[in-house]
């Protein structure tokens, strides 16, 4: 599918609304999403059939020139082959006319993207974890989704309905005034719409080209360092020396008792069994829906809290410094995995990235190996080791005693002035990675001496107010930041 490039001064933004479809509309939605899955499976089978055929011919000693030709997986090729096969293929001939052509285009586009990612990953041109060949999507596990790019796609003028191809007019659970006002004013143009079933509800997301309005932050000259944690979700320390703490709401921990009770009820009902073909009872379905309701509420509360936190931070500070955490590696710790997943460290950085761009805020990502917790925020001494259970940082050089998380946040805030793209010390979100480490180097933290005043000024810019004190004292702190009430 051709990638869309917005006009200068415009950005592509999504507007998502919950739907309230009736019984017939929900059946049509499920039919379209099922058609997308069927088209995806057909494309995967059609392309990989030539792979297996060539492999079989090679085992029989067929020459290389006489082998079956590779089948292309580009979207135009898949569309042409599917349009020729849908009239005679028994899997589609009887019902393909019931759905919009966009449903089948969705599945074919997803298959083309999956094969492209697989090829680029195999050739070493794709970053991240290696991807395997595309596989068939299960009817039981596949996520229900369908995208519309052509036809009648609009937000109705009453502000409570949307119109989609073949599906007609659907009522929304919430008003669509935000997008409708922009469309009527001529500052937004709808490009596509995607319907998706998540957490027991149907949603529609409109992709729109919107005129970008730069929002001026409250304190453009202030930098803030954000240290994420479990006990406190985030500790915010700005360049003026002010420290604020965002308490961790622990939504999943609070709902565990309710979830245990709901799961116990589900386990006592007659559930489905794929081995014997047993279907679930009505009581099991009702109990399972009640348990899913608790899960959905926890997910919604977490999403709401993270949105409020990231929006408040991006709207206040001119520079934001975050850590480059290895969240996937942290989740391997069986003692902390549940609490780390409940906090949503990865989501905080992802949302700060696009919200900072919207507010013209500078986002700096500290190097993953930067010792923010082991470095003294007063004199710059770096400790070789600081176990996780030690929650108070005590400097042996300047005798500063400070909370571990507050110390890390202050070091991150001071790092904003020394951020140079590509140095490996601190870099912008889209900066080039640092050069590889020299031979014999490692990532161990070693003890360093206190830095002089001149060195501190060169390394971190202006000296922060908290860096002038060299002894333990009670520093006034702001009230804990609460953003989800």
49 Cβ contact list (under 8 Å, min separation 6): 71
Q: How far apart are CA 363 and CA 139, in angstroms?
A: 41
Task: Given the residues 102, 209, 316, 323, select the one marked as catalytic.
Answer: 323
Whether the CB-CB separation of 395 and 376 falls below 8 Å is answered with yes
Q: How far apart are CA 238 and CA 245, in angstroms?
A: 12
Handedness of CA 43, 46, 50, 56 (dihedral sign): positive
Q: How far apart are CA 222 and CA 185, in angstroms?
A: 35
- DSSP per residue, 425-436: SEEETTSPPPPP
- DSSP per residue, 162-176: EEETTTEEEEBSS--
Whether the CB-CB separation of 103 and 36 falls below 8 Å is answered with yes
Residue from 326, 458, 319, 285 nearest 380 by CA: 458
Whether the CB-CB separation of 413 and 464 falls below 8 Å is answered with yes
What does R_g of the chain's alpha carbons equal in angstroms? 27
Angle value at C-alpha 145, between 141 and 146, nearest 5 degrees: 145
Q: How far apart are CA 97 and CA 431, in angstroms?
A: 49
Whether the CB-CB separation of 217 and 442 falls below 8 Å is answered with no
Beta strands in 212-341 (DSSP E): 219-228, 232-238, 243-247, 317-323
Q: Among this protein's residues, is 474 annotated catalytic?
A: no
User: Is 79 in a helix, a strand, or coil?
Assistant: helix
Residue 431 CB-density burial (10 A; 0-12 exposed, 13-18 middle, 19+ buried): middle
Long-range contacts (CB closer than 8 Å, 24 or more residues apart) made by 157-161: 157/184
Q: Which residues are 321's β-sheet partners?
A: 225, 364
Alpha-carbon separation of residue 165 from 2, 147, 151 (angstroms): 20, 10, 6
Q: Among this protein's residues, is 405 annotated catalytic?
A: yes
Beta strands in 367-481 (DSSP E): 392-394, 401-403, 426-428
Task: Given the residues 102, 227, 316, 342, select the one marked as catalytic.
Answer: 227
Active-site amino acid positions: 227, 323, 405
């Amino acid at each position: 599918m051709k990638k869309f490039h917005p006009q200068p001064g415009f950005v592509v933004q999504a507007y998502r609304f919950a739907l309230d479809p009736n019984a017939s509309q929900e059946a049509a939605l499920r039919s379209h999403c099922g058609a997308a899955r069927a088209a995806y499976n057909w494309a995967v089978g059609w392309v990989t059939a030539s792979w297996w055929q060539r492999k079989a011919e090679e085992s029989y000693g067929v020459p290389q020139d006489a082998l079956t030709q590779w089948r292309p997986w580009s979207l135009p090729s898949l569309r042409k082959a599917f349009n020729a096969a849908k009239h005679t293929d028994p899997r589609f001939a009887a019902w393909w006319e019931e759905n919009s052509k966009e449903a089948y285009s969705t599945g074919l586009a997803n298959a083309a993207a999956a094969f492209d990612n697989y090829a680029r990953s195999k050739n070493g041109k794709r970053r991240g974890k290696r991807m395997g060949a595309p596989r068939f999507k299960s009817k039981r596990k596949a996520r229900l989704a369908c995208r519309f790019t052509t036809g009648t796609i609009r937000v109705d003028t009453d502000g409570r309905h949307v119109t989609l191809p073949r599906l007609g007019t659907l009522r929304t659970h919430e008003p669509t005034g935000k997008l409708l006002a922009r469309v009527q004013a001529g500052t937004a143009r709808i490009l596509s719409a995607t319907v998706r079933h998540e957490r027991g509800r149907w949603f529609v997301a409109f992709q729109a080209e919107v005129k970008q309005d730069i929002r001026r932050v409250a304190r453009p000259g202030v930098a803030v360092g954000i240290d994420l944690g479990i006990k406190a979700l985030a500790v915010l320390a700005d360049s003026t020396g002010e420290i604020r703490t965002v308490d961790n709401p622990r939504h999943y921990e609070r709902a565990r008792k309710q979830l245990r009770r709901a799961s116990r009820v589900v386990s006592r009902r007659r559930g489905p069994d794929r081995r014997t073909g047993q279907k679930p009872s009505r009581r099991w379905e009702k109990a399972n829906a009640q348990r899913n309701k608790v899960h959905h509420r926890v997910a919604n509360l977490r999403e709401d809290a993270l949105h409020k936190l990231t929006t408040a931070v991006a709207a206040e500070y001119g520079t934001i410094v975050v850590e480059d955490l290895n969240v996937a590696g942290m989740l391997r710790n069986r003692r902390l995995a549940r609490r780390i997943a409940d906090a949503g460290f990865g989501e905080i950085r992802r949302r700060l990235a696009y919200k900072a761009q919207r507010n013209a805020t500078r986002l700096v990502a500290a190097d993953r190996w930067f010792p923010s917790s082991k470095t003294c925020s007063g004199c710059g001494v770096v400790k070789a080791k600081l176990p996780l259970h030690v929650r108070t940082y005590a400097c042996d050089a300047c005798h500063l005693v400070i909370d571990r998380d507050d110390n890390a946040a202050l070091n991150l805030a001071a790092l904003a002035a020394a951020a140079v793209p590509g140095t490996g010390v601190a870099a912008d979100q889209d900066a080039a990675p640092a050069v590889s480490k020299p031979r014999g180097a490692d990532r161990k933290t070693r003890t360093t001496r206190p830095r002089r005043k001149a060195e501190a000024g060169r390394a971190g810019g202006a000296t922060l107010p908290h860096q002038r004190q060299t002894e333990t004292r009670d520093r006034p702190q702001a009230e804990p930041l609460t953003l989800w009430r």
